[in-house]
Structure 1
Amino acid sequence: MPVFLRFFALVLLFSASLVRGENLNTTYITLASAVYEDSLISARDLQSHIDALLAQPSPKTLSAARDAWRKARVPYQQSETFRFANPEIDDWEGALNAWPLDEGLIDYVSDDYFHEMGNLGAQLNIIANPTIQLAGQEIDAREISPELIQSFHEFAGSEANVASGYHAIEFLLWGQDLNGTQAGAGERPYTDFVVDDNCSNGHCERRRQYLKAVTTLLVSDLEAMVARWQAGGDLHKKYSTMSEEAVANSIVFSIGSLSLGELAGERMKVPLEANSTEDEHDCFSDNTHWSHYYNALGMQNLFTGQYQRINGDSVGGPSLADFARKRAPEATEHLRRAMNVSVEKTQALVKAAEHKIKPMKFDQMIAEGNREGRALVMNAIDALVAQTTALEDLARTLGLGSENSDASH
């Protein structure tokens, strides 16, 4: 769509929202509902492709399941901008997107696998052991069910014991990425899921059970979150009764937390400084560049009050940008430009990683001595830092986050 037509469409959408009596509260609920519904839709699609893989394991069905996993990350990563101002979401999120994980908790690993020191669960290998002996106790793991997986998540109090969620599924579909900072992702063979004599690496039936159960758990967790944003749900009620200033404060807090501490810090700066592929977000699939980009896009979505659904429909309404522009036009424009740069710089990671002739994935970018790659990552980090500074300036101008704000977080 030409730029002028897109702008005209947004003007019409905003005008219609005013006629319907919508405000920042209703937009927040609309965007959250849409992005979690899309996450659920794409997770169900992933589930259907995993069922097809288990029904007929082959290179084709494994590849299709991997593609469905990548697509499932698109809406979910955009949803993370709702996480930080809402403890209800932040407490729930760990079961879906926690990382990095000690994959030895779940399945076989390489002989030189280096797990978190002191982690009692790092070598349990649930798939290989229907009965687990630990500290003089016997754990019955004969039936690999969603409930069993939940019981092992963050086992023994370690955040590295990630038993469920997107990254557990990712590990089962790709296996370990043993390429370090060289090209290549995980290369788990489809024969890890066959049930006859061609089974590779042993315990194929239990691996199949785990993959099916962990995907069922992902879908059920997303179903629960979708319900919370529907009329009658607790998060719907919460944001329906807030003042617009409180919603604005919530948006500022969430974007700021994701922008600086999480995305620029934990997900980019930490692996860059340590040259650590273990700290890469989507480390088994080499999908990290897309996850970073969609995090940045999700923040922009929330600021502008617009979200494009996976079916192509656009939803939105009055936004923080609209709320702020009337009160602080210069600071609002500064933040708008800074967000554009953040999206541009994270998109540069995607362009480099998806280059048709010489792709450079995130784990290659962070390699020691890779000046070009490290510059790309630092440019994205710098843009996110600048974005956060612009957000803080806007918040101060608006008086958000101060004692005078009635935000209840």
Structure 2
Amino acid sequence: LTDETATAPNGDRRAQYLAIVADLLPGHLAQVAAAWDPDGGSYRAAFLAAEPAEGLRRVLTGMIVLSGFETGGERLQTAFDSADQEDEHSCFSDNTHRDMVRDIDGILAVFRGVPDTAGHGVRDVIAARDAALAAAIDARIAESQRLANALQPPFDREIRFDNPEGRARIEALIVSLKTQESLLEDAFRLFGLDVPAVE
């Protein structure tokens, strides 16, 4: 990244990013593993011990917040509005386009209950009360996933004011994510839950 074969003008920045991430990653992975350790006082244990309605509330809250406020709002809308690379979600790694895809992949995996095909996803729980709503949410998440995959790297070019095609791709994804958020809120209300307020 920084020797005479480097071709990008920001090789030093990328090398610095990789060095920092390599130092932080083992500790962060250990924290995640500990949080889901079934033998410890982990979040996993507390989550599984909760009443089913509380578990559903937590899962739906996460899906709602990640769909609209986080991905559609802070991660996309802010950069879209400013067209400034500094507002890009992953401005140092130039990986924002993949971050958006992976966020939505995670939402879809929780909704459908994959890859653990032996269990059930949120879709199954919603479909037991309202099959049409479950199908609408599933289709919307799949559409958001398709739109996220259509983003062109690097993301800082997509947000530029002189790139109407890129901006149209981002705007379509933002609109889809906001619709997805609204549909998930409908599911929240279906179970008599209060729609979460984002802090």
TM-score, scaled relative to structure 1:
0.43
- The percentage of aligned residue pairs carrying the same residue is 27
Partner of 1:227: 34
Task: Give the number of equivalent residue pairs.
Answer: 192
State how far apart, in whole Å, the 2-side matches of 1:291 and 1:59 are.
30
- 1:149-202 Cα offsets, whole Å, 9 max, x none, are xxxxxxxxxxxxxxxxxxxxxxxxxxxxxxxxxxx7732289x8xxxxxxxxxx
The match for 2:77 among 262, 269, 274 is 269
2:37 aligned with 1:218, yes or no?
no
- Residues 260, 385 of structure 1: 8 Å contact kept: yes
- Residues 252, 395 of structure 1: 8 Å contact kept: yes
Partner of 2:93: 285
Partner of 1:204: none
Return the offset for 1:315.
6.2
- Residues 331, 394 of structure 1: 8 Å contact kept: yes
What SS class does the counterpart of residue 297 from structure 1 fall into? Answer: helix
- Residues 328, 398 of structure 1: 8 Å contact kept: no
Q: Which amino acid letter does the alignment assign opposite residue 368 of structure 1? A: F
2:48 aligned with 1:240, yes or no?
yes
What SS class does the counterpart of residue 180 from structure 2 fall into? Answer: helix
Return the offset for 1:282.
1.7
Partner of 1:132: none
Partner of 2:164: 371
2:125 aligned with 1:323, yes or no?
yes
Larger Rg: 1
Return the offset for 1:304.
1.0
State how far apart, in whole Å, the 1-side matches of 2:118 and 2:165 are.
38
- Residues 185, 284 of structure 1: 8 Å contact kept: no
Partner of 1:346: 148
- Residues 48, 55 of structure 2: 8 Å contact kept: no
2:188 aligned with 1:395, yes or no?
yes
State how far apart, in whole Å, the 1-side matches of 2:64 and 2:188 are.
10
Return the offset for 1:260.
0.9
- Residues 251, 303 of structure 1: 8 Å contact kept: no
Superposition CA RMSD, Å: 2.7
State how far apart, in whole Å, the 2-side matches of 1:185 and 1:330 are.
51
What SS class does the counterpart of residue 399 from structure 1 fall into? Answer: coil
Partner of 2:10: 186
Return the offset for 1:220.
1.6
TM-score, scaled relative to structure 2:
0.85
Return the offset for 1:227.
1.7
> Unpaired segments of 5 or more residues in structure 1?
1-52, 64-183, 193-206, 308-313, 354-360, 403-409
> Unpaired segments of 5 or more residues in structure 2?
none
Q: Which amino acid letter does the alignment assign opposite residue 373 of structure 1? A: G
Return the offset for 1:395.
1.4
What SS class does the counterpart of residue 306 from structure 1 fall into? Answer: coil
- 1:207-246 Cα offsets, whole Å, 9 max, x none, are 8xx937x634431232122122121232121022112221
